[in-house]
Each structure stands twice: as C-alpha cells, then as structure tokens.
C-alpha cells in the first residue's frame, strides 16, 4: 500500500542551530591554529545570553566572545527588538581543560594508533532517490529554508522575514517505495509585526506559495518538479503570529537537532550529536565515514539503498564491528554480512584512518552546522582566522569531503563489477 513519510528542517536562525554554529565556529578556530586540538564545546542560547561550556586541550588561546558574536551577527540577529543581538548579548565562558583520563585513552606516541575518543554507535545512509543520495523529504525541507534565508538576506521580494524558521515536508510513496507526490508542506517563519493577524496570514501565505516554492522547484529535475501538484496541503505559520522567536522565544542547545543533521528519520541515527566535537570524537568522524561508505556503495551500484552501522570502544582504535542493511535492494550476489566484510577491506575505519582520508583535522565544520551535515556539495574554500593576539591566518580547506564519490572505482573492483 502507499504510505506517507515526513522529514523536517530548521533554519540557521533556529535557537538550537545558533548553538550548533557557535560550537562549530569555535572548533574551526581551534583547529586553524592547532590541528591537534582536542575540543568538546556545548553552547546554550537564551534571551540576551550565550553560555559556553566544555573541555579543550590546545596550545592556542582564543577570544571566544569575539568568535561567538561574529557567528550571531552573520546569522542575522542584529536588531535589539529580537531580544538577542550580536553586540549586546552576554557571553559567559565556562570552558576548561580536557580530562587527562579521557585524553590518555585517545593520544598515542604513533598517531596511527590513536584510540576512539568515546564509545558509541554511528550510522551512515544513502539512497538513490535523489542526485545527492539523500532522502527526498529531508532534501526538500532543507531547500525550503535555505531559499527562505536567501530571500531574507536579499530583502527585496520579501522584506519582513526574521532569522528563525522551521519546515516540514510529507511525501506519499508508492508500494515500491517511489515518491509519488508531495502531500503536505509546513512552513513556520519568524516575521516582523503586522498591523493585523489576518494581513500577516494572507501576505506570508501568498509569498511562500508564489515566491519561495517556485524558487525551490526551479532547482529540481523535471520529474521532481511534477511532485508539486495542486493538491498539496499547506500549513504556513499555523499558530498565527510568530514575531517572538530565536533564543528569546525558545532556549537553544548544541546537538538537539541530530535528525535534521543527518537523514530526516530515514535510516538510523547513533547515540551522539556532531557539532562542537573535534574529529577524535567518533560520534562525528565515524558518522561522516559511514555516510561516505554508504554513498559510494550506492553510487557504484551495489544497492539502491544502504544503511551502515559502526561501533567503537573508547581508547580502542579498531571498530567493534560493521553492520550493513540494503533493505532487499542489493544488486550483487552477496548477502549484507558479506557486503560488510568487503567494506572492511576497502575502508580504513580506525580514527586516524578516517581523519586522514577525509581531511577532518582542518577547520571545515562551521559550514556543517546548518542545513544538514550530509548531502552537501564538496568544494574548496579559503577561510581567514584571527587569534587572541591579533595574528591572522588564511587557510584553504576542502568542505564536505565525506560527500565525494572518490571510492566508486575501488568499490567496483572489490565487488568485481
């Protein structure tokens, strides 16, 4: 029978995402000056206040207040009426040195013997229902908010938008798991005050349908554009007024949007969040590595859909095991357990192997902290950093390396394709 599946996303101005972006900006600044830094930073944002907490082992000292305020300004919290503003909010730092007990289980004399920074389970997922091998409902949810933020910054076609927003897309699938149509779209966007709630509802609804939706559709292949039919149910700012938002409307914390960060509820998610953690924390690095594996296997034609699980023990370099589920879509004459065995032959899954293969000791994390860590486009960018002494440094880095399809040939060779 046909069925419905829903995914959601949140904007860069959502309180939890503000927290993620601050935590990851601090990670990048530490790694830019000290590639061996060990960092785990949590951020809390609320009305007029930011609280930073966590553990750091590094040879560099940073002006965390300056970095934090720069992130908030970039996102768009620049007006006092938001009750959370880049230049006036308080920033309290409770960051301290990393536990020596944890550190001794991770660092080794030889870097290749580095142990996992924690125990845990991590998942990677890929599906061929989109060009970026991501679940379609999540991909559309991200696109809606990315374009909404672009419209806010342009401030031309829509001039009343504020930074906080959420989206949700419900797809109807056929019995053979193919997307047939969009059933429902939910958009809740923070906005300036209107003279009346009725005027607000009419204006925002019209702008979402007539400006935002066409911009998103134009990015899609014709067969996906056809999913936008006249029967879509829209819920636009369904509670009515949404003037109070951001950290003034809801406290934000690092790591509370892990399903948005990954696959929108498809596949599975491990036990830990990503943002605020350096790559020695396998919660982050191994989740990227398993996505890299799943995407390259699907792109190589091993299966239409793949879930990869890996697990670690703290201080131990080799994973406890690898699990694979192809959901009955395998195209090779191997069972899922045998496919898992092949993965161990192709990919080095030690923490050091992952870090070096994907270039994870570079300052590449700020860009991951909004609109999903997976399904993004790999690219090389130049970034500038400044330390507490005023010294500046320019670094060229490659973003989203785990999205590269650079192992297809190796996968095909290993599987005899």
Ligand-binding annotation for 118, yes or no, is: no
* Rounded distance between C-alpha atoms, residue 64 and residue 74, angstroms: 15
Here the tokens at position 133 are 């091998």
Ligand-binding annotation for 336, yes or no, is: no
Contact 246, 11 (CB under 8 A): no
Chain position carrying tokens 């992130």: 71
Ligand-binding annotation for 234, yes or no, is: no
Contact 19, 381 (CB under 8 A): no
Which positions ≥6 away from 80 have C-beta within 8 Å?
88
Ligand-binding annotation for 25, yes or no, is: no
Secondary structure of residue 135 in the 3-state scheme: coil
Ligand-binding annotation for 34, yes or no, is: no
Ligand-binding annotation for 277, yes or no, is: yes
β-bridge mates for residue 379, sequence order: 399
Secondary structure of residue 260 in the 3-state scheme: helix
Burial of 346 (0-12, 13-18, 19+ CB in 10 A): middle
Ligand-binding annotation for 57, yes or no, is: no
* Rounded distance between C-alpha atoms, residue 391 and residue 385, angstroms: 8
* Rounded distance between C-alpha atoms, residue 387 and residue 267, angstroms: 40
Ligand-binding annotation for 281, yes or no, is: yes
Residue 232 sits at φ, ψ, to 5 deg, of -65, 135
Ligand-binding annotation for 414, yes or no, is: no
Ligand-binding annotation for 59, yes or no, is: no
Ligand-binding annotation for 42, yes or no, is: yes
Rounded (5°) CA angle 33-37-41: 105
Burial of 182 (0-12, 13-18, 19+ CB in 10 A): buried
Ligand-binding annotation for 96, yes or no, is: no
Ligand-binding annotation for 241, yes or no, is: yes
Burial of 157 (0-12, 13-18, 19+ CB in 10 A): exposed
Contact 116, 106 (CB under 8 A): yes
Ligand-binding annotation for 164, yes or no, is: yes
Residues of the binding site for ATP:
14, 164-166, 241-242, 250, 256-257, 273, 277
Residues of the binding site for L-methionine:
55, 98, 250, 281
Residues of the binding site for K(+):
42
Residues of the binding site:
14, 16, 42, 55, 98, 164-166, 241-242, 250, 256-257, 273, 277, 281
Residues of the binding site for Mg(2+):
16
């Amino acid at each position: 029978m046909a069925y419905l599946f829903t995914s959601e996303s949140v904007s860069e101005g959502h309180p939890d995402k503000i927290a993620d972006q601050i935590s990851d900006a601090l990670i990048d600044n530490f790694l830019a000056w000290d590639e061996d830094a060990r960092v785990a930073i949590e951020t809390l944002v609320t009305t007029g206040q930011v609280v930073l907490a966590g553990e750091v082992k590094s040879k560099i000292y940073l002006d965390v207040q300056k970095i934090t305020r720069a992130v908030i300004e970039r996102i768009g919290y620049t007006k006092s009426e938001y009750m959370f503003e880049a230049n006036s909010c308080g920033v309290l730092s409770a960051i301290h040195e990393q536990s020596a007990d944890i550190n001794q289980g991770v660092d080794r004399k030889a870097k290749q013997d580095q142990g996992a920074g924690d125990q845990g389970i991590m998942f990677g997922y890929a599906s061929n229902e989109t060009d970026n091998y991501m679940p379609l409902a999540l991909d559309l949810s991200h696109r809606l908010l990315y374009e909404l933020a672009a419209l806010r910054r342009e401030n031309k076609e829509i001039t009343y938008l504020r930074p906080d927003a959420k989206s949700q897309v419900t797809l109807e699938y056929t019995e053979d798991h193919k997307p047939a149509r969009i059933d429902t779209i939910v958009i809740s966007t923070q906005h300036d005050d209107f003279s009346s709630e009725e005027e607000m509802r009419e204006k925002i609804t019209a702008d979402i349908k007539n400006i935002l939706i066409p911009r998103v559709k134009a990015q899609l292949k014709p067969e996906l554009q056809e999913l936008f039919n006249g029967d879509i149910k829209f819920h636009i700012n369904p509670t009515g007024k949404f003037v109070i938002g951001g950290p003034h409307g809801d406290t934000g914390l690092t790591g509370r949007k892990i399903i948005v960060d990954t696959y929108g509820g498809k596949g599975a998610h491990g036990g830990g969040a990503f943002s605020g953690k350096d790559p020695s924390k396998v919660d982050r690095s191994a989740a990227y590595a398993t996505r890299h594996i799943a995407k390259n296997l699907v792109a190589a034609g091993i299966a239409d859909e793949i879930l990869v699980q890996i697990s670690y023990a703290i201080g131990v370099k080799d994973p406890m095991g690898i699990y694979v589920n192809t959901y009955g879509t395998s195209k090779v004459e191997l069972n899922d357990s045998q496919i898992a065995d092949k993965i161990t032959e192709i990919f080095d899954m030690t923490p050091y192997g992952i870090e070096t293969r994907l270039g994870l000791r570079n300052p590449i994390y700020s860009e991951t902290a909004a609109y999903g860590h997976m399904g993004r486009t790999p690219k090389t960018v130049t970034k500038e950093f400044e330390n507490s002494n005023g010294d500046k440094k320019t670094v060229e880095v490659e973003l989203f390396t785990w999205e590269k399809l650079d192992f297809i040939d190796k996968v095909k060779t290993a599987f005899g394709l």
